[in-house]
Amino acid sequence: MKSRFSLSFLLSILLFLFASPALTQNNEIHVGTSVALTGKYARTGQEQLQGFQMWVEEVNERGGLLGKKVHLIHYDDESKPETGAKLYEKLITDDKVQLLIGPYSSDVTLAASTVAEKHNFPMVSSGASSSEIWARGYKNIFGLYTLADLYMDQIIELGKSKGLKKIALVYENTAFPRGVAEGVKRKAKELGMQIVFEEEYGKASTDFSSMIIKIKAKKADMVIGGSYLPDSTGFMRQAKEARLYAKIFAFAVGPGLPDFGHNLGLDAEGVMGNTQWEPTLKLPGAKEFAEKYKVRHGHEPGYHAGGGYGAGHVLEAAVKKAGSTDRDKVRAALFALDTVNAFGRFKVDATGKQIGKPAYAVQWLGGERHIVLPEEAATAKVFYPFKDWNKR
C-alpha cells in the first residue's frame, strides 16, 4: 500500500512534467530580471526595478521593441546571490525570456552572470561595478556602472589636497565593497597616504562599535566605508554615539540615496559619498525622467533608479542595432554600442566592462544631496572639514 502510494505520487509528478505546455511567446518580447526587493539591498533594488519599469512603460508607449510589446517578468532574490542564480536559471530555462537585465549588487550579479554565461545569454547589468565580475573572461555580461575601484579616487585626491595622511577603511566582505577597498588602497599608495586601519565585516553585521573604537585610537583623518545603505547609516549613527571624528567621512553606497538624509537627519550633514548619476546632470532625458519619477514615486530618483532606466535604454539600443532578439546578434550589438542616454555614456571594452562613463562624488549639504566632484559637474562646493558632533 505504501509503495503504491509513493509510486502513484511520483508517477503523477512525472506525468505532470511531460504534459506541461511550452510557454507561448505570441506577440510579446519577454524581459527577465531578479532584483533585491527584500533583505539588505532592498531599497536600492526597489529603486533599480522602478527605474527599469519606467523604461518598459515608455518603450511600450512608443510602440514597443521591434513592433512588439515588452513584458517584464521579475522576481525577488532577497539580496542573496544563490537565490539570484536560481532565479536566473528559472528565467532562462522555465520562463524562457528573450532578454535579460542583471540584478542589483555585485555579489548577486557575480552569481547571476555565471548562470548567464553558462547558457551563453547576454545580460545587461545596471547594478554592479566590481571588477571581479569582468575579470573572468566572460562574454555575456555588460555593465553600465563605473567600476568600483574608481569610486573613491576623487575623494582621496581631495583629502590629499588638504594635507590629510591617515585613512581608516572598513568594508563589507562581498564583491563590490572589496572592489572599492582595492581601489582605495591603490590610490592611497599612489598618493603616499597611509591606511592606518582596515577591517572587513560581514553582510549581516550591524554593530560597528568595536571598529569605531579602534579607528578613534588610530586617529584617522579620513574614514572611508565600502558599504551599502544599512551599514553606512548604522555606522554614522554609531560614530556619533562614540563621538568618532574625522575630517572626511565617505561611503560608497548610502549617501547617494534619499533615505540616507531622511534617516540620519542632521547627522548626515557633510557626509560624502559616491554616485553613478544624479538627476541634475546634463544628459538627454535625465531631467524628464527625474520629474516623472518624482511624481510617480514621491521622491527624486537616485542613481539606482537612473541605472535601471538607463539599462532599459541600452537594451533598446542594442536590440534596434541587432534588428532582432537573437542572442548572438544582441551580444554583438552590445559590444559595438557607443551611445549616450539619460544615465550617461555606454561603451564597453572586450570583456563587457564599462569604460565610457565617469563617477561622481556627492555630499549632503543643508539637507540635500549635491554633486561636489568633479568640479565641472558640481552643483555645490565641497564643504570641508566635517563639522564636529558637538558643534552642530
Partner 1 sequence: MPENDQRSISFWAGTVLVGLALLAPFGVNEYYQSFLLQVFLVIALAQAWNLISGMTGYVSFGHAAFFGVGAYTGALFLTWGYPWWIAIFNGAGIAALIAVPLGFLTLRLRGPYFAIAMLGLNEVGRIVATLWVSVTKGGTGLPLPPSLLPSLDITYFMMLSLALGATLLIAWVHRSRFGLELRAIREDEEAAEMVGVNTTRNKVTAFVLSALIPGAVGAVYAMYTSYINPASAFDPARNIEMIVVVLFGGSGTVWGPIIGAATVMFLREMLWAQFPAAHLAALGVLLLIVVLYLPGGLVSIVRERHRERPDARPGESP
Partner 2 sequence: MELLEPEILLQMLINGLLAGALYALLAGGLNLIFGVMRVINIAHAEFMLIGAFGAYVLFNVFGLHPLFSLLIIVPIIFVVGYYFQRVLIERVVDRPMLTSLLATYGVSIILINVGLLIFSSDFKSVPVLQGSFLIGDLAVSKPRAVAGLVSLVLSVGVYLFLDRTRLGKAVRAVSEHAQVAQICGIDVRQIRMLTFGMAAAMAGAAGVMLSIIYSFWPGSGVDFIQKCFAIIIIGGMGNFVGALYGGILLGVVESFVGGFISTQWAEAVAYLLLVTVLLVRPTGLKGVARA
Q: How many CA atoms lie within 13 A of 178 on its CB side?
A: 13
Residue 10 beta carbon to partner 1: minimum distance, rounded to whole angstroms? 6
Question: Which residues are CB-contacts of 192 (< 8 A; sequence separation ≥ 6)?
Answer: none
Q: Which of the listed partners (partner 1, partner 2, none) does 25 bind, with a CB threshold of 5 to 8 Å by partner kind?
A: none
Q: Which of the listed partners (partner 2, partner 1, none) does 347 bind, with a CB threshold of 5 to 8 Å by partner kind?
A: none
Residue 86 beta carbon to partner 2: minimum distance, rounded to whole angstroms? 17
**Contact with partner 1 (CB under 8 A): which of 14, 62, 67, 298?**
14
Residue 230 beta carbon to partner 2: minimum distance, rounded to whole angstroms? 5
Of 42-50, 195-203, 232-240, 255-263, the segment contacting partner 1 by CB under 8 A is 195-203
CB burial readout 167-185, b (16+ within 10 A) else e: bbbbbbebbbbbbbbbbbb
Residue 34 beta carbon to partner 1: minimum distance, rounded to whole angstroms? 9
Give whichever of 170 and 342 is closer to partner 2, judged by the CB atom: 170
Contact call for residues 172 and 202 (beta carbons, < 8 A): yes
Nearest to 85 by CA among 101, 105, 109, 65: 109
Does position 200 bind partner 1 by CB under 8 A? Answer: yes
Residues that bind partner 2 (CB under 8 A): 38-40, 42-43, 78-79, 173, 199-202, 205-211, 213-214, 216-218, 230, 234, 237-238, 240-243, 263, 267, 389
Q: Which of the listed partners (partner 2, partner 1, none) does 24 bind, with a CB threshold of 5 to 8 Å by partner kind?
A: none
Q: Which of the listed partners (partner 1, partner 2, none) does 3 bind, with a CB threshold of 5 to 8 Å by partner kind?
A: partner 1
Nearest to 195 by CA among 162, 171, 175: 171
Does position 75 bind partner 1 by CB under 8 A? Answer: yes
Q: How far apart are CA 125 and CA 314, in angstroms?
A: 10
Contact call for residues 160 and 222 (beta carbons, < 8 A): no
Give whichever of 133 and 281 is closer to partner 1, judged by the CB atom: 133
**Contact with partner 1 (CB under 8 A): which of 30, 40, 43, 80?**
80
Backbone phi, then psi, for 298, in 5-degree steps? 85, -5
Q: How far apart are CA 141 and CA 236, in angstroms?
A: 34
Q: How far apart are CA 358 and CA 294, in angstroms?
A: 25
Q: Which of the listed partners (partner 1, partner 2, none) does 214 bind, with a CB threshold of 5 to 8 Å by partner kind?
A: partner 2
**Contact with partner 1 (CB under 8 A): which of 53, 173, 194, 339?**
173
Nearest to 188 by CA among 155, 148, 139: 155
Contact call for residues 152 and 252 (beta carbons, < 8 A): yes
Interface of this chain with partner 1, residues 244 to 273, rule: CB under 8 A:
none
Q: How far apart are CA 246 and CA 225, in angstroms?
A: 13
Give whichever of 114 and 263 is closer to partner 2, judged by the CB atom: 263
The CB density around residue 211, as the number of other CB atoms within 10 Å, is 22
Does position 19 bind partner 1 by CB under 8 A? Answer: no
Where do contacts with partner 1 occur on this chain (CB under 8 A)? 1-7, 9-11, 13-14, 17-18, 20, 22, 75, 78, 80-83, 85-87, 89-90, 93-94, 107, 110-111, 113-115, 117-118, 132, 136, 172-175, 178, 200, 202-203
